[in-house]
Structure 1
Amino acid sequence: MQGVNKILVIFDDVWEEFEPETIGIPFGVAHEGCKILLTTRHQQVCTIMNCQKKIQLGILSEVEAWTLFKDNAGVDDGPSSLNGVAKEVARECKGLPLALVTVAKALKGESLDGWRAANQRLKDSRHLDNEEVFGGVYSPLKLSYDYLKKNNSQTTENDIQLCFLLCSLFPEDDEILIEILIMCGIGVGLFSHICLIEDKRREIGVALTKLQKSGLLLETDNAETVRMHDVVRDFAHWLKSMGENRFMVKDGLKEWPHIFENFGCYTAIALWNCSSNIDNLPDKVKLSNLKILVLSGKEMLRVSSTFFEEMKSLHVLILIDVYFSLEGLQSLTNLRTLCCIDCKPENLSSLTHMRNLEVLALFGTNSDEILEDLVELSTLKSLYLSHDEEQQINFPPNLLSRLTSLQELHVTSENNINLLELNSLSRLTALSLTVSAEQGFQENFMFPKLQRYNIVVNGYFGYLKGLTFRTLKINNLSSLLSAFKDLFCNVEKLSLENIDGEKNIIPNLCKKRVNELTSLWLKSCKDMEFLIDITGKQGSSVALSNLVEVDIRNMNCLKELCHGPPPTSFLQNLEEVTIENCKCLQVVFQMNKICEKVESQAPLLSRLTILKLYSLPELESIWNLESSHHEIASLRSLKELYIDCCDGLEQIIGFAQEDE
């Protein structure tokens, strides 16, 4: 091989790291003309082997999918009936390359009836009725699934495999809320060797990432959700269609399934969007081995008070749009997670029988009458409460301070919480909270140190908002900002609106460097002049080094983003900047006093892709930089530039003359 100047070596379907030299393949310094291409279903292999370029083969567009499919199936774009059915089959593969190639090759040369039969099986998710066609899809998926057990001593499904199977309980094409997955995972005992909810969250997050890298889950545009491809979902259902631990997932039920004659083998059942007048809905269902039940009404589904009596092994119960009796849950003594979304509980009774309950979530579900009972739930670790937007949650005095086992508290509707009670929760690591000015911030109050939080002052956010980012949204609060002192230091997303009396963020709001902040929104903070003011300090330290997005509006006193020599790394990671209606701003990026230290760093603004400037009457230039320093800044990544009502703008990019 060394005698050949240029050679390409391809390794297909690699599952583990290997050293090319050990099998006689020279590369790198030994043979710079040798290029190695490898394919793998396990992205970690690319990372371990230090691949210079990684190409993720994702879901194909409809046009790309049809091109790949017809090339492998031997069909074309002609108007024949067979080609029409072939296009439907290709669409049912939902852009998954593995399914497109396997199904196309299996159906190549089939009759029109054969194509139609395969198409119907795909639509009905009956893939295994024809293993010749669909077995080739499931075999590589089974390899990926089995590989998840590598380096795991468990003989049954390990935690990552179970996490994958939990994702299959959700409807087809659904964007699965990670927060709901976490509730389910805690209920079924995922990572049972871990006690802290925060650590379980982290492990479940790692598991989901691993599933995405293995091609078993898909990313979405929302960091708080994941998605499972339809074909992969059907594969998961196939895995759990046999044996003693079966899953059942149905959507849009109008009639109660007859399959419940063999109810004893089911450990997880998810019935989505059931008709409110479903036929043959029983008063009682004996499901003695059932661990997970999801019951969702299309409108409002009413179930009997005895419906749950024979489900005594249930660990996770999720009810959506269901009329039910709390009294009917008395037999569920093993329940660990109870989640009710937009439900109407009747016969409100005590929850004290749920002595193993760890997660209680009541979204859009009235909870005031049962709040006192929470004290009796000694194992309760995570509490979610949310009413309709116009309803307030009324906590009895001193209730919160007695919930000493709580590790997470999520109250996202208006409430009467005495904030001082939060300081009694010594185990609290995560907090979602809506706070109004009427509640008042006592002078001696300070939010405890938290690992995750989403706190809104004088505002509202959705009740299923996750805790992916540490978030603060503070509106119309100009005093006692010291209550947030410990949170400003590690906040990731910060929004301030109508905050008076503060001239800067650093050092006025936080003397530390706020280096975990990625997104900043400022609006109508009339006294703020700078984001950072480091005049009088020697040299420059790192500050706002991870800031990616900045949105500033109606800031009439804003003069500069940074007053004084910009800190090291400031402006290096910015990707999107919007500034609107700031009457005093003359230069967006004032860098003519740039610190010499920055010269050794990556160019400033080199990641900026979007810049929007509106209604800035005093604006003279986007940046001001001495010509001797022009190499330290670059707009090489800029893709979108919007400028409107900036009548004083003399030049878009300007360098100051050396004699100025």
Structure 2
Amino acid sequence: MAESLASAAVEIVTNQATEYASPYLRYFFCYGQIVQDFKNRRKELKLRKQRVKIRVDEATRQNEVIYEDVQDWLRRAEQELEETQNLQDEIDRVKCFKWCPKWGWRYCLSKKLAEKTPIISKLLEDSNFPQVGYRGSLQGIEFITSTDFMDSESSKSAFNQILEAIKADNMIGLYGMPGVGKTTLAKEVGKHARDQKLFDKVVMFTMSQNPNIRTIQDKVAEMFGLNFQTNTKEGRAEELFRSMQGVNKILVIVDDLWEEFKLESIGIPFGDEHKGCKILLTTRQQQVCSKMKCQKEIQLGILSKDEAWVLFRDQAGLEDDCSILNEVAKEVADECKGLPLAIVTVAKALKGESLDGWKAANQRFKDSRHVDNEEVLGGVLKPLKLSYDYLKKSNNQMTGNDIQMCFLLCSLFPEDAEISIELLIMCGIGVGLFPYANSIEDKRNEIGIALKKL
């Protein structure tokens, strides 16, 4: 009985010792297999990482947002490959030292490789991503590109008032004469709000005199990553309404509003329907702000005489001196009535002119009849007319009349419309534009040059 108990005890101890010792014995006697398993798995991870990286790069080019777990996997895979490179180098060194005993070194290396291989295997298991990214909503090109913001006293004051107002008010109205810079200021507010993360989403669209509701709905939906499931304007408005209600803080900039308009018909929730949705609208007339029930009405004034001259001088490429040409240029700048649009337009039209050219332009201003509606157009037509008259040759063949006619053809299209170059070419052929261009391709090139000039 005692012998059987002793025998059983010995067997148990032997089994436990073997089980405990087997991994360590394996490090001695299975070195070649351990090395091969490690190298195979590491190579597989390297190739898998390349494939995932290619998919990520392609998704990025398609403006997709990469999932965080994919980015985390790439970081971990890269880190693991970097760390195991030392082990790969050590394997190569073991092969080289044939003149010395390698059993101790091989044991330590074998142990390290055996511990790393399961980690690599787990990374490989986690790399089966059905998708690496998703289509995110757009930010709006208005708030990415430069706005050419004129840092005048009036614009700075209006800018600060708007930022203060959007903290408390749901609807803010910005009004001022055409050409005074309302759109530019609104874009600057939107850019600041986005960069400073004051809102979760900032969206801007133009109303104009004859707004295209479907086009506006498409633009707003694109900003929110919404794909419409219905086709009617009312159905799309409801979809957009519900989608926007799911975003906590939104700034909607409604540019160039001409008359009272129900934003709900587009699908814009505000007021009691969405306390976090703020509306900033720009308009030419203060009455529109009142009709829209804006809690805050802010006027954007014209530039001061000194501000107007600095802008005019810079745009015209004039030196800061007391020359006779500058004296005449100052008179021309005064005719622009402090309107940035008029100043920039006229200054660029006269850039590079001789003193006689500046004098002639000044006289044209003084002789021109009063054709503007001061209340609506604010004196901007006369500077624009002068700029139109000063369209010059852009090469030896193209005449100012050709460029003027191209401009007039463009003006036939609705405001803010996307003008097809093919349609413009057909219209140009119909009115005899660029008669010296024999082929369609030549006319296309000439119209391209004219548009660049404009």
Structure 2 length as normaliser, TM-score?
0.28
Q: Which has the higher strand share?
A: 1
Could you say which structure has the greater relative contact order, defined with CA pairs below 8 angstroms and 6 or more residues apart? 2
Q: Which has the higher helix share?
A: 2
